[in-house]
């Protein structure tokens, strides 16, 4: 999965031109939205993998119905953050998988080097910190998020009531609360940052999960996917407010980029 800073950056960019309705939720529960934007990436490996592979129609449809019934704006804000995470993951995960399998090339005709998926994730995250986010902002989420107790309690209930069942992971409330409370992003060092084209800025060809050819850089993904993300956020708001069934065409792939 993509790492913490790129998801933080992408989710925060979405708050800049959001509709009035979305902005109102973000402002009420910014800590819930931030926690949601990091997804389950800081949970145990099995949990985050199963949540990413979950059917998004069910994942977002069932949670929206739960929020419609409960009326919780805190849970809504968390799920909007999780939706921003999903929107980026479903295109970025295939990108990461492709270059982990095929190697990352050096700039200006440099040789292709076999790099682990984790190293690529770190390289991309470090570029986002250096080129977009800034170290000061990145450090503001390192060492803990400072999520309010009320928010932690509501999101723990969301996992216990809905999310754990949807991802076939069963954690008791105490463990879920503890994991949510101790979410702690990091900013590890990346090797070869100036040598290897982690961001695909030379627009080399790669393939998505369906085998379709792409040449997008991570920079282009971060810009291009905002429109799609806004459409998903607005769809979810409509679902959570009126018990609307999800538009299945908008949730055609899961967080791994696989067609469902």
Joined together, the tokens standing for residue 196 give 């290897």
Report pLDDT for 1. Answer: 53
Weakest-pLDDT range from 32-46, 62-76, 246-260: 32-46
Q: Is 256 inside a domain boundary? A: no
For 90, the 3-state DSSP assignment is: helix
C-alpha–C-alpha distance, residues 52 and 48, integer Å: 6
Q: Is the dihedral of CA 77, 238, 93, 16 positive or negative?
A: negative
Q: Is 260 inside a domain boundary? A: no
pTM here is 0.95
Weakest-pLDDT range from 84-88, 123-127, 256-260: 256-260
Report pLDDT for 142. Answer: 85
Joined together, the tokens standing for residue 56 give 């998004």
Q: What is the tens place of the pLDDT at every residue in 164-223?
A: 888 887 788 898 899 899 888 888 899 999 999 999 999 999 999 999 999 999 999 999
Q: Is 257 inside a domain boundary? A: no
* Helices 30-37 & 149-158 angle (0-180, nearest 10): 50
Joined together, the tokens standing for residue 229 give 């993300």
Q: Whole domain around residue 123: which residue ranges?
A: 4-243
Q: Is a pLDDT exceeding 60 seen at residue 11?
A: yes
Weakest-pLDDT range from 48-57, 114-123, 152-161, 215-224: 48-57
Q: What is the tens place of the pLDDT at every residue in 112-126?
A: 999 999 999 999 999
Report pLDDT for 184. Answer: 84
Q: Is 70 inside a domain boundary? A: yes
Q: Is the dihedral of CA 142, 216, 46, 48 positive or negative?
A: positive
Q: Is 47 inside a domain boundary? A: yes
Report pLDDT for 14. Answer: 97
Q: How many residues does the chain have?
A: 260
Count structural domains, the chain.
1
């Amino acid at each position: 999965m993509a790492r913490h800073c790129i998801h933080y950056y992408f989710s925060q960019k979405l708050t800049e031109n959001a509709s009035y309705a979305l902005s109102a939720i973000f402002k009420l529960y910014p800590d819930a939205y931030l926690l949601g934007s990091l997804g389950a990436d800081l949970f145990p490996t099995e949990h985050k993998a199963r949540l990413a592979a979950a059917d998004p129609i069910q994942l977002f449809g069932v949670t929206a119905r739960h929020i419609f019934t409960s009326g919780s704006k805190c849970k809504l804000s968390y799920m909007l953050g999780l939706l921003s995470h999903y929107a980026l993951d479903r295109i970025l995960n295939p990108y990461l998988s492709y270059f982990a399998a095929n190697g990352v090339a050096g700039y200006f005709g440099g040789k292709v080097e076999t790099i682990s998926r984790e190293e690529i994730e770190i390289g991309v995250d470090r570029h986002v910190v250096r080129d977009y986010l800034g170290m000061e902002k990145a450090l503001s989420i390192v060492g803990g998020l400072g999520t309010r107790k009320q928010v932690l309690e509501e999101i723990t209930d969301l996992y216990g009531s809905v999310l754990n069942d949807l991802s076939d992971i069963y954690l008791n409330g105490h463990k879920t609360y503890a994991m949510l409370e101790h979410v702690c992003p990091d900013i590890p060092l990346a090797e070869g940052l100036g040598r290897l084209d982690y961001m695909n800025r030379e627009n080399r060809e790669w393939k998505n999960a369906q085998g379709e050819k792409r040449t997008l850089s991570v920079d282009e993904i971060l810009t291009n996917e905002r429109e799609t993300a806004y459409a998903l956020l607005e769809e979810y708001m409509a679902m959570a407010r009126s018990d609307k069934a999800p538009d299945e065409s908008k949730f055609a792939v899961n967080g791994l980029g696989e067609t469902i």
